[in-house]
A and B are shown apart, each in its own frame.
Chain A
Amino acid sequence: EVVMTQSPATLSVSPGERATLSCRASQSVNNNLAWYQQKPGQAPRLLISGASTRATGIPPRFSGSGSGTEFTLTISSLQSEDFAVYYCQQYNDWPPYTFGQGTKLEIK
């Protein structure tokens, strides 16, 4: 099973600033990596697939990069609605599909 590790567990950033979230895989997942955003009481929402392709309707301030075992989600200028929990998911080696434990992005 591919273990996904996200860091940091909690990130405190001020609105308007840049946020950088990391995700590491225990073995190469090529670029088969997705990012999701989850707000309290809601289902996760797909942000990024293929490590760097934004999903439909996702604003350009969200960008993904990386390949192999190291991945990054960057939010270029944080808006109030961006404070949430973010998860990465690998879909290269399955079953099972595996998720990271999440990074909580909170207002500084």
Chain B
Amino acid sequence: QVQLQESGPGLVKPSETLSLTCTVSGGSISSYYWSWIRQSPGKGLEWVGYVFYTGSGFYNPSLKSRVTISVDTSKNQFSLRLNSVTAADTAFYYCARGTREGYNGDYFESWGRGALVTVSS
């Protein structure tokens, strides 16, 4: 059974870059779509974007100008970078594996436990 684990700094200063890595174990990162999803404390879920194992990806248009998601197949990891952060980016950040059927999009069967990132000076 695949497992995902987020890692990275829990505190980022305003205007700086948030960086998180998701390590995938129990399965290969190849042939799946890998997403980041965030949840502000006490709020709902917001999809940030995904990367395919080939490196191609899609981002939420609301965040597109600030987001980069990359993959390292040799390490079975994928990473999130979100620049120019503000307090509004404070959230739990989850990595998740997308399941895609046919030409439809992804639902999320496997999730990491989440990493809280606080934006504060």
Interface of chain B, main secondary structure: strand
Interface of chain A, main secondary structure: loop
Number of residues on chain B facing chain A (CB within 8 A): 24
Let me know if A101 is at the binding interface, CB within 8 A. yes
Is A91 within 8 A of B106, CB to CB? yes
B113: chain A residues within 8 A (beta carbon): 42-43
Complex CA gap A43/B99 in Å reads 17
Knowing A43-B94, A43-B113 are in contact, say whether A99-B47 is a contact too (CB < 8 A). yes
Interface residues of A (CB under 8 A from B): 1, 32, 34, 36, 42-46, 49-50, 55, 87, 89, 91-102
B61: chain A residues within 8 A (beta carbon): 1, 95-96
Residue of B nearest to A31 (CB): B104
Residue of B nearest to A96 (CB): B60
B111: chain A residues within 8 A (beta carbon): 43-45
Is B99 within 8 A of A102, CB to CB? no
A46: chain B residues within 8 A (beta carbon): 107-109
Is A95 within 8 A of B45, CB to CB? no
